[in-house]
Amino acid sequence: MNVKVWIRITRTVSLLFVVSVLAGLSACAVAPPVPPPPNDPVTLRVNVFRGASNIPIYMAVERGAFTRRGITPVLQFTPNSDMQRDGLAAGRFDIAVAAVDNAVAMIEVAKKDVVIVAGGDGGMNELMVRPEFKQVSDLRNKNFIVDATNTAYALIGRKILKNAGLVDGKDYTMNPLGGTEIRTKSLETPEGHSAMLNPPWSFVAKDRGARSLGNTMDLFGLYQSSGVFVMRPWAEANAGTLQRFLSAYIEGCRATQDPANREQVVQTLQKNLKLERRVAEQTYVALTTTGHGLFKDCAIEMTGMRNMLSLRAEIEGQWGGVAPAPDKFLDLRYYERALQYVDR
């Protein structure tokens, strides 16, 4: 055989062998899809504040997303963040859905092994005041009504007041009363001068005469507000159940964001929050406003997450004033797996 021909044949065979090996390695590198967890019947205790941020759960219930996954969610309504944080740490419920800054406070202040597993919305908050106040600086020497002084919406309010030249503990007094519904009622009392409120309570407060000095998107910027957080050991021991819950949660979020479902969303808000239709419609608009309401698929909004952490660093002086990366507080593996089976 001609030497040149032999060399060409050898090179061809070698090339085919290499291609075959690489193809085999590539096939091995692509892991097979993880099968969905079995739909074993389970009841989950879910702790929330009573408000519009629960709409992914409400819609998932309405559309049978939990039932199809063998899950019965039992909602517990917390009066304030302190009770929610203490309850999660003590195992009095399985899942918390609220402002994820509460999870950060549990991790950093209370030293609890908590993890944020999904997002939700931007909070939809407004700085609401009694009608006699026309601008933020009018709140000097007045009361700022909060849930807890060191977390979430209180920090946003403190930042807004700080930007107006007001220092907490000196120029105004923080009064921790509890959740948004309680803060709404406080604005009808002589001592309730200002509060951060979100839907539907912000609209209820306006109907009762309160004034809005602006929403957090305009006054502060993008913010990661509500989300899903759990104790890490519980997540690891109940990974399949958590994945099923998040699949239903995401499905409820998508259904809310689909304009074709507007009427169902409005009716669901009316039913679950006992709202007049006009207030439910206003709440729907807030929920579907980009950046202000629900984030796509209720994912974590990373810019909003970084802003939330930076706010805590600035106002609370945590981490020496320099916020860590969001990864420290997140475990999105359950969410990412849940996305694969949202339509199942």
Tell me the pLDDT tens digit for each residue of 286-310. Answer: 999 999 999 999 999 999 999 999 9
Task: Order across the sheet with 71-77: list the strands.
Answer: 71-77, 42-48, 95-99, 226-231, 114-118
Domain architecture of the chain: domains with CATH: 42-122+223-339 (3.40.190.10), 126-219 (3.40.190.10)
pLDDT digit string, tens, across residues 14-64: 443 433 434 444 444 444 455 667 778 999 999 999 999 999 999 999 999
CA–CA–CA angle 79, 198, 308 (5° rounding): 90
| DSSP run (H or E) holding 46 | strand 42-48
Residue type, 157: G
Q: What is the overall mean pLDDT for the chain?
A: 91
Q: What is the mean pLDDT of residues 223-240?
A: 98
Strands (E), 198-307: 211-215, 226-231
pTM over 0.75? The answer is: yes
Dihedrals φ, ψ of 189, to 5°?
A: -105, 155
pLDDT digit string, tens, across residues 160-195: 999 999 999 899 999 999 999 999 999 999 999 999
Q: Which of 273, 246, 231, 283 is nearest to 91 (CA)?
A: 231
